[in-house]
């Protein structure tokens, strides 16, 4: 029998196996330290769970935060079952914890590959916002990576941007009112005076006849049409406000005046006005109707418009449809519904809805244009905390 350098029959000796085992353990330890140092260097709060929802690893940020105000939630230490702690949570944070637990279970049971949630936490010191992301990977079984990111600064920036945008919209509304007043009180009155002067001119020169009489009649007609258009624009720029009668009542009043001034046939299909809506929601939807009808006057050439206001269990839906020439593909991206060219009307509508967690969709073709606005609601009421 021949003995080689690996032992009898080519097998390693006990000493060699021990040395090899030590090398493997040392390499594993080096890898684990490297990975731990890597996640410790990240600013997010990170925990790794096993397939049962127990915490098997965390980074330094998670440990420090968990030992402080415990923004990361209950059961934050290694070995604790984070999933069970969330499911058994009570108090003000219970709803958020249960939502997290449902997301984790959905991943463990294979019904989804990841989970994302944004929520707010109040501590003894301040209010902070976090974004949670949960994903999975496989290493000797399923592992879940939980990443909590502090997005408080982003939320503050968003709030500041909303305030600026709201102020700009208020200035825009005030400028519209000013222009409407000037058109009504000055320009319209001047054109009316022109028509009166032309009528007097006809009485002074009764024997004009021929081409002169034709030109005079044409000028009177143009002045009357211009007066009507100015009154229409003034009405569109400065419509009636949404009063105690509710959104539907205000829309009916506005549409009635709009039809009289433009000759465009407008129908309103709306459910009973029994939804309690904040003033900013009513104003936003009212302005969207106003802007949509104004665009029909300016661009559509449609002689009809249909407005639908409906409510489902999850959202309030407003649609304005016309049968006009549609919006050119040079202006409207048909895939995304975004407006390519500059302008303030449609971007303003989109901004108003974005502030309320809603969205705007525009579809256009040879048979006309449909503007759809949706605002999320919950339990029959507008939901100001909805996050898309």
Domain segments of the chain as ranges: 42-150, 153-238, 244-388
* Least confident range of 146-160, 255-269, 272-286, 348-362: 272-286
Q: What is the pLDDT of residue 240?
A: 56
Neighbours of 21 (CB within 10 A): 10
- State how far the Cα of 128 lies from the Cα of 155, in Å rounded to an integer: 9
More confident residue, 51 or 326: 51
CATH 3.30.465.10 fits 244-388, yes or no: no
The pTM of this model reads 0.55
Q: What is the pLDDT of residue 318?
A: 94
Q: And the tokens for 347?
A: 């971007």
Neighbours of 367 (CB within 10 A): 12
Residue 388 has pLDDT above 50, yes or no: no
* Segment of 121-135, 163-177, 199-213, 312-326 carrying the highest mean pLDDT: 312-326
Whether 364 and 371 have beta carbons less than 8 Å apart is answered as no
Distances (CA, A) of 205 to 210, 211, 262: 13, 13, 34
pLDDT in tens, 264-293: 999 999 875 555 677 778 888 888 998 888
Confidence bin at 60 (pLDDT 50/70/90): confident
User: Which candidate, 278, 282, 280, 307, places its Cα nearest to that of 292?
Assistant: 307
Residue 127 has pLDDT above 70, yes or no: yes
Instruction: Note whether 42-150 and 244-388 share their fold.
Output: no
CATH 3.30.450.20 fits 42-150, yes or no: yes
- State how far the Cα of 358 lies from the Cα of 220, in Å rounded to an integer: 48
- State how far the Cα of 136 lies from the Cα of 114, in Å rounded to an integer: 7
């Amino acid at each position: 029998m021949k003995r080689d350098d690996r032992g009898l029959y080519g097998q390693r000796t006990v000493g060699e196996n021990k040395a090899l085992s030590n090398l493997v353990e040392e390499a594993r330890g080096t890898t684990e330290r490297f990975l731990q140092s890597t996640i410790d260097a990240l600013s997010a709060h990170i925990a790794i769970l096993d397939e049962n929802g127990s915490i098997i690893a965390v980074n330094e940020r998670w440990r420090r935060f968990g030992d402080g105000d415990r923004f990361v939630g209950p059961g934050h230490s290694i070995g604790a079952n984070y999933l069970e702690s969330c499911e058994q949570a009570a108090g003000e944070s219970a709803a958020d914890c249960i939502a997290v637990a449902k997301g984790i279970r959905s991943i463990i049971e294979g019904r989804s590959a990841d989970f994302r949630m944004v929520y707010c936490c109040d501590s003894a010191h301040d209010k902070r916002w976090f974004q949670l992301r949960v994903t999975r990977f496989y290493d000797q079984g399923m592992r879940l990576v939980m990443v909590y990111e502090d997005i408080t600064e982003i939320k503050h920036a968003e709030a500041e941007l909303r305030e600026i945008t709201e102020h700009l919209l208020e200035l825009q509304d005030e400028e519209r009112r000013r222009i409407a007043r000037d058109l009504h009180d000055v320009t319209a009155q001047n054109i009316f005076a022109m028509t009166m002067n032309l009528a007097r001119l006809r009485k002074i020169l009764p024997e004009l006849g021929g081409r002169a009489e034709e030109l005079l009649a044409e000028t009177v007609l143009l002045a009357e049409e211009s007066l009507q258009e100015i009154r229409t624009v003034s009405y569109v720029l400065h419509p009636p406000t949404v009063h105690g009668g509710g959104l539907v009542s205000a829309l009916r009043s506005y549409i009635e005046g709009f039809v009289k001034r433009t000759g465009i046939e407008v129908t309103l299909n709306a459910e009973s006005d029994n939804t309690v809506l904040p003033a900013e929601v009513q104003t936003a939807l009212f302005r969207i109707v106003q802007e949509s009808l104004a665009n029909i006057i300016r661009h559509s050439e449609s002689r009809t418009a249909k407005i639908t206001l409906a409510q489902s269990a999850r959202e309030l839906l407003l649609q304005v449809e016309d049968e006009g020439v549609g919006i050119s593909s040079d202006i409207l991206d048909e895939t995304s519904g975004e407006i390519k060219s500059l302008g303030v009307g449609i971007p303003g509508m989109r901004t108003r809805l974005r502030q309320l967690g809603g969205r705007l969709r525009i579809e256009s073709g040879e048979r006309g244009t449909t503007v759809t606005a949706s605002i999320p609601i919950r339990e029959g009421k507008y939901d100001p905390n909805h996050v898309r």
